[in-house]
Amino acid sequence: MTTALDTLKSNAREIHNIAMAAQLLQWDQETYMPNGGAAARAEQVATLSKIAHEKATAPESDALISAAASEAPDLSTDDGALVRVARRNYDRIKKIPVELATEMQKAASLGQHAWIKARKDNDYESFKPFLAQNFEFKRQEAEALGYEDSIYDPLLDEFEAGMTAADVNTMFGSIKDDLIDLVAEISKKAAMSSDEILRRDYAEAGQAHYSHWVCEKIGYDFNRGRIDKVAHPFCINFSINDVRITTRYMNNWLPSALFGTMHEAGHGMYEQGSAQSLEGLPIAGGASLGVHESQSRLWENLVGRNRSFWDFAYPELQRTFPDALGNVDVDAYYRAINKVTPSLIRVEADEVTYNLHILIRFEMEQLLLNGDITVDEAPKVWNDKYEKYLGITPPTDADGIMQDVHWSAGLIGYFPTYSIGNLLSVQILEKAVGDIGDVNPMFAAGNFNPLLSWLQDNIYVHGSKFMPKDLMHSVLDGPMDARPYMAYLKQKFGALYDL
């Protein structure tokens, strides 16, 4: 006999398959699609989005989920978690009109394509209508979803369930002053570091080789993944067993591809790590964007910018780039990759200034959503904030308001999850070290398995079975806390800059 749970699972798998096909349309659009394909691609994405939406909001779903809930009352089981997620998704999606969902998806696809060209041409005017359209649609979505305090809340909730704009303001409030003080202290000693060695000639082929090598060493599974080139890197999956990362190579800036691929590999290993029993279900994959980002930042920064790691990884880097690094010792290299300097580009930012980039985006999103500023004013407001927080002004909109793909693709309310991830990464690593011991000797020996296994067993395997804050509370034995993160920054950069 077919139970309600069986039917719910079967429906969920079908919707998942449609979503995965839509993700491939997106991956292809970013990687290999010829320009001519853009208009038809937007129609294709819109069609799949519409069908998935129709299936997810079918009239019988409400009763079906309720019936399945009575069959699987234990939320700690896979089945119980599936019902919980189905209920949350259903209640959320049901509030958004089909036409709006379809149009948003289409606008996101067209916007992304317009952004690629506009950014290349530094032509904000051509991008502006797409940006305005995406914000307008998101306002409509937020109104449809409803909110108590801020129009920002229902948008943030999509990416970080249960978190509000007020929470994010509190979070930034608790680290903002410390961060600004730390940046100021370090700035006095700017002369102590240089990243000139990272700006030498790094041929793409060598970067591609090393990116592949390092991702494989830390544990990203290439039998279930691959690396491709894009304008703005991301990680995307079409299955637990097909999780792809993307990167970009800059000839005279080694960190872009190097830390970019370690970052995306962190996302990728999290996705590859879901229990196989979750395959094809909406409880596979990361618990939230914030938890996801904790893993990308952990592998990028807490491993990739760790001194011990380079005892292991530096010789291969020197072998790959003998002309650029043959005569550079590992300590000079370590100082270069940890140089702190206010810069324009978020994804290239150091660990200390990074969260100020996020703060600017978070504030811009609130201003645009609330209608406090228009898209015409936005580039100047963006530039003013960079001047105020980081002391620098973007010379072009391409390096200013157009630097990120997110808004072009309708991802609004997404940025705060990056800072949440930063804070969590330090707390999680400290917890892991408590269990498996000092990771530095392991990193120095190229042995990442104890850490990966710990993350796998404690976080990855659970997919998105649990609410993010419940999962984190269980892993950390307590709530999210910004203090370990600030302590980490002060210790690491205090030592580097003799503070």
Judging by DSSP bridges, how do beta strands 235-239 and 242-247 pair with one another? antiparallel
81 contacts 283 by C-beta, under 8 angstroms: yes
Burial of 15 from C-beta contacts in 10 A (0-12 / 13-18 / 19+): buried
151 contacts 142 by C-beta, under 8 angstroms: yes
Pick the closer one to a second copy by CB: 14 or 136. 14
User: Nearest-5° angle of CA 316, CA 318, CA 322?
Assistant: 135
Nearest to 263 by CA among 200, 351, 171: 351
Compute the least distance from the CB of residue 457 to a second copy, in Å. 21
Would you say the C-alpha torsion 190, 396, 389, 486 has a positive or negative sign? negative
Q: Per CB under 8 A, which region of 182-190, 221-229, 287-295, 308-316 contacts a second copy?
A: 221-229
Pick the closer one to a second copy by CB: 43 or 143. 43
State yes or no: residue 223 binds a second copy (CB under 8 A).
yes
Distance CA 421, CA 255 (A): 20
**Is 264 known to be catalytic?**
yes
State yes or no: residue 76 binds a second copy (CB under 8 A).
no
- In the chain, the N- to C-terminal Cα span, in Å, equals 69
State yes or no: residue 47 binds a second copy (CB under 8 A).
yes
State yes or no: residue 48 binds a second copy (CB under 8 A).
yes
Compute the least distance from the CB of residue 18 to a second copy, in Å. 6
Q: Per CB under 8 A, which region of 175-183, 223-231, 447-455, 472-480 contacts a second copy?
A: 223-231
State yes or no: residue 242 binds a second copy (CB under 8 A).
yes
Pick the closer one to a second copy by CB: 38 or 67. 38
Give the type of residue at 28: D
Compute the least distance from the CB of residue 88 to a second copy, in Å. 23
Pick the closer one to a second copy by CB: 137 or 220. 220
Distance CA 450, CA 277 (A): 23
Pick the closer one to a second copy by CB: 213 or 222. 222
Nearest to 34 by CA among 122, 94, 116: 116
Pick the closer one to a second copy by CB: 18 or 269. 18
Pick the closer one to a second copy by CB: 29 or 294. 29
Q: Per CB under 8 A, which region of 125-133, 239-247, 298-306, 470-478 contacts a second copy?
A: 239-247
Binding pattern for the stretch 181-220 against a second copy, x by CB under 8 A and - elsewhere: ----------------------------------------
State yes or no: residue 144 binds a second copy (CB under 8 A).
no
State yes or no: residue 280 binds a second copy (CB under 8 A).
yes
Residues of span 316-345 touching a second copy by CB under 8 A = none
Nearest to 400 by CA among 364, 353, 371: 364
Nearest to 411 by CA among 64, 169, 50, 160: 160
Compute the least distance from the CB of residue 49 to a second copy, in Å. 10
State yes or no: residue 44 binds a second copy (CB under 8 A).
yes
With contacts defined by CB under 8 A, how many residues of the chain interact with a second copy?
40
Residues of span 12-41 touching a second copy by CB under 8 A = 13-14, 17-18, 20-22, 24-25, 28, 32-37, 39-41
Distance CA 455, CA 459 (A): 5
Compute the least distance from the CB of residue 41 to a second copy, in Å. 7
State yes or no: residue 241 binds a second copy (CB under 8 A).
yes
Pick the closer one to a second copy by CB: 14 or 363. 14
Compute the least distance from the CB of residue 454 to a second copy, in Å. 23
Count of beta carbons in the 10 Å neighbourhood of residue 344:
18
Compute the least distance from the CB of residue 11 to a second copy, in Å. 11
Q: Which of 30, 141, 160, 264 is catalytic?
A: 264
State yes or no: residue 275 binds a second copy (CB under 8 A).
no
Q: Identify the bridge partners of residue 243 per DSSP, sorted by sequence position.
A: 237
Pick the closer one to a second copy by CB: 54 or 143. 54
Compute the least distance from the CB of residue 499 to a second copy, in Å. 45
Compute the least distance from the CB of residue 25 to a second copy, in Å. 6
The catalytic site residues sit at 264
- Contact set with a second copy (CB under 8 A): 13-14, 17-18, 20-22, 24-25, 28, 32-37, 39-41, 43-44, 46-48, 51, 221-226, 228, 238-242, 244, 279-280
